[in-house]
Amino acid sequence: MTTRLSPYELMEKLVSFPTVSRDSNLPLVDWVEGYLNSHGITAHRHYDETGEKAALFAHVGPEVAGGVVLSGHTDVVPVDGQPWAGDPFTVVERDGKYYGRGCCDMKGFDALAIWALVEAHQMGVARPLQLALSYDEEVGCVGAPPMIERMLEVLPKAELAIIGEPSMMQTVTGHKGGIGHNVHAIGFEVHSSLMHTGVNAIMASAPLIDWANRMNAENRARVPSELAAMFEPPWTTVHVGMIEGGTAHNITAKDCRFGMDFRVVPGEDPEEWSARFMAEVARVEAAMQAVHPEARIDVTPKFLVPGLKPEEGGAAEAFVRQITGDNASHVVSYGTEAGQFQERGYSAVICGPGNIAQAHQPDEFITKAQFEAGHEFMRGLLARLNRAGAA
């Protein structure tokens, strides 16, 4: 009989694969698929356009609709330049914590979900359980939508999805949406002593970045809606996190590249914010072209992540609350794949072990207590799925 690994052993194995978003996740996918197959579980893949990454999903229990999805992502953020105390891709237990890249975000949950899927298959649950492991969540949740579409084609449609992002095992029913753009301003180079005859791409970009500052100030000053007031901060934020450009201090910059990202409170439309930004881009571009007609600003979409909207009488929320006993209201400002499941007709909720404050940090960790709380949640989930006529 094939050995059934514990959640901790599964987490150790998953963390050992350095699935940074810029690299392939196929070695991890190969291993998980082989592990599931060894227990008689058929897994399905959906590859990205490069063929270097794949989502993996599986179904156990009756071949009927109405089941539960455990959803996680396989990619992690880079460790470059971070001062880790040891190897980021080896789980180390110290002071009641498990350290390793992804232990918190979110290979700890992935391990628990894989464990639960195998257990559900072995016990023969009355209600189906599905596993969904995506790619490229960390670069804008771009891997989940094609995975979900493929799941709907291949598997019986589940009723609800539990997205296991670190929430301290709280029942999170809402998160902000997000939209991001890559911006490339192209100027015209001249010697800086004659800057009035050239177009400095960096200086031309400055009004767009200042527009972000002004939008943040206006949004912060506005009285938030009742729904927006649940979030921290309770307004839509506009952010530029990286910028590069220029050749030398005495040349008007030919190029300037930066990202413009929005985290949008429910009730506001991310695409409307995008349209407002593009109107500002058009205004700045016209001023650039008045100096030199070849100057321009290219804007390409980076990501679009729908928000998770609290559901009235949501099946996912009710199911998770019955297991956790958590009856408080929780929302988060970070984006997840939950809104994408909800958009495709699943009832969705976020509930997973660990603290989001540890995500992406050097010496990322999940506490043993939180990991065990996640394990206890999975035991409760299996008990509910195993009840005859469970709903």
pLDDT of 390 > 90? The answer is no
Helix axes 107-123, 368-385, angle to 10 degrees: 30
DSSP 195: G
- Could you give the CA distance from residue 330 to residue 109 in angstroms, rounded to a whole number? 19
Q: How confident is the model at residue 143 (pLDDT cuts 50, 70, 90)?
A: very high
174-175 and 331-332 beta bridge pairing: parallel
Cα 119 to its chain centre, rounded Å, is 27
Q: How many CB atoms lie within 10 A of CB 34?
A: 10
DSSP 28: H
Question: Which of these CATH numbers, 1.10.3720.10, 3.40.50.1370, 3.30.70.360, 3.40.30.10, describes 178-303?
Answer: 3.30.70.360
Kindly list the domain boundaries of the chain, sorted by start residue.
Answer: 7-174+307-386, 178-303
Q: What is the pLDDT of residues 163-183, one digit of tens each?
A: 999 999 999 999 999 999 999
- Could you give the CA distance from residue 276 to residue 279 in angstroms, rounded to a whole number? 5
Q: What is the pLDDT of residues 243-301, one digit of tens each?
A: 999 999 999 999 999 999 999 998 899 999 999 999 999 999 999 999 999 999 999 99
Residue 171: its pLDDT value, please?
97
Report the catalytic residues: 75, 137
- Reference 131, options 163, 172, 174; nearest CA is 163
Burial degree of 123 (CB within 10 A; 0-12, 13-18, 19+): middle
- Could you give the CA distance from residue 334 to residue 103 in angstroms, rounded to a whole number? 18
CA dihedral of residues 79, 85, 86, 92 (deg, nearest 10): -110
97-99 and 92-94 beta bridge pairing: antiparallel
- Could you give the CA distance from residue 325 to residue 380 in angstroms, rounded to a whole number? 11
Q: Do domains 7-174+307-386 and 178-303 have the same CATH topology?
A: no
- Could you give the CA distance from residue 28 to residue 371 in angstroms, rounded to a whole number? 21
Q: Are 176 and 235 a contacting pair, CB within 8 Å?
A: no
Overall average pLDDT of the 124-134 stretch: 97
Please give the single-letter amino acid code of residue 78: P
Per-position b or e across 108-118, b if 16+ CB within 10 A of its CB: bbbbbbbbbbb
Mean pLDDT of the chain: 96
Residue 286: its pLDDT value, please?
98
Q: Which residues contact 203 (CB under 8 A, 6 or more apart)?
A: 252, 253
Question: Which of these CATH numbers, 1.10.3720.10, 3.30.450.40, 3.40.630.10, 3.90.1170.50, describes 7-174+307-386?
Answer: 3.40.630.10
- Reference 88, options 6, 113, 98, 369; nearest CA is 98
- Could you give the CA distance from residue 232 to residue 115 in angstroms, rounded to a whole number? 34
pLDDT of 210 > 90? The answer is yes
Question: What is the percent of the chain with per-residue pLDDT over 70, rounded to a whole number?
Answer: 99
Q: What is the pLDDT of residues 299-353, one digit of tens each?
A: 999 989 999 999 999 999 999 999 999 999 999 988 899 999 999 999 999 999 9
Length in residues, the chain: 391
Cα 200 to its chain centre, rounded Å, is 35
Question: What is the percent of the chain with per-residue pLDDT over 90, rounded to a whole number?
Answer: 94
Both structure tokens of 140: 């804008």
Q: Are 60 and 141 a contacting pair, CB within 8 Å?
A: no
Paired with 290 in beta bridges are none
pLDDT of 391 > 60? The answer is no
